[in-house]
Structure 1
């Protein structure tokens, strides 16, 4: 029982840290473009974002819904956003690492190494796990309207 309580406390601390970091480093660049939160990499360590092939991010494309009123949404060009309660916590590019893992860009650059700012997909691409909080997300089903 103590182990379960400790795990819950650690998960809550990780989530609080990620959410706190989500508010740091944000703002607007001189050209008016929004900056995203820091995953902990120094600007000097950032490289250019590699070209993203739609086939490499195809399993990631769509909306992934969590249980904390949050979601990730990704498009075929690799761009993505993480939103909680209407607030954008991260936006940028999901960079394929292979094996169903993607690291997230930061301030328009590539941290070049795996970090807790990334996600991994389950073997059958039915679940997404965000490394920052170890929370699991499920893919939202698109509903087709009448027409």
Structure 2
């Protein structure tokens, strides 16, 4: 698959995921049956800096996109200067983090998260199955 095709596929996957997660509808409240699951999210847990330390920094992908995480767990996913996601990385343990959605915690592992591997030098985004590499920081003199 060419880089251009892979890039287009990544954008399409991100758009589909965003629409699905946003519940792209008419804005009308619909009646729900007794079997409908609640759509509320749990409040965000407090994230300790030590729990997200391996995630902190910029992670670069091959499709001109990147993830950037801070020591407080907040982060963004950016492609062509457009934010595709922003929120908080919630530690699950063993190098896995789920992402907050619309200011809340989905409380379950989902494809909207990442897993670190190779001594915390690789990041796998479950939403697109794309691998990212930790960017090297320039030494300050």
Asked if these proteins are the same fold (TM beyond 0.5), I'd say: yes
Q: Secondary structure at the match of 1:76?
A: coil
- Over aligned residues, Cα RMSD in angstroms? 2.5
Question: Alpha-carbon deviation of 1:45?
Answer: 3.7
Are the structure 2 counterparts of residues 43 and 87 from structure 1 closer, same or farther at C-alpha, using a change threshold of 3 Å? farther
Are the structure 2 counterparts of residues 71 and 14 from structure 1 closer, same or farther at C-alpha, using a change threshold of 3 Å? closer
* 2:96 counterpart of 1:101: yes
> What corresponds to 1:82 in structure 2?
77
Contact 1:14 1:132 (8 Å CA) reproduced = no
Unaligned runs of 5+ in 2: 23-36
- 1:3-38 per-residue CA deviation (whole Å, 9 max, x = no partner) reads xx7xxx9xx75762323433674xxxxxxxxxxxxx
- Give runs of aligned pairs for residues 33-48 of structure 1, distance below 5 A: 44-48=39-43
Are the structure 2 counterparts of residues 88 and 74 from structure 1 closer, same or farther at C-alpha, using a change threshold of 3 Å? same
> What corresponds to 2:127 in structure 1?
132
Are the structure 2 counterparts of residues 112 and 61 from structure 1 closer, same or farther at C-alpha, using a change threshold of 3 Å? same
The count of residues paired between Structure 1 and Structure 2 equals: 123
Contact 1:70 1:82 (8 Å CA) reproduced = yes
- Give runs of aligned pairs for residues 22-33 of structure 1, distance below 5 A: 22=18, 25=22
- 1:100-133 per-residue CA deviation (whole Å, 9 max, x = no partner) reads 0000000000000011100000041010000001
TM-score, length basis structure 1: 0.74
* 1:21 paired residue among 9, 17, 29: 17
Inter-partner Cα distance in structure 2 for 1:58 and 1:131: 20
> What corresponds to 1:69 in structure 2?
64
Larger radius of gyration: 2
Inter-partner Cα distance in structure 1 for 2:44 and 2:50: 17
Are the structure 2 counterparts of residues 143 and 94 from structure 1 closer, same or farther at C-alpha, using a change threshold of 3 Å? same
TM-score, length basis structure 2: 0.77
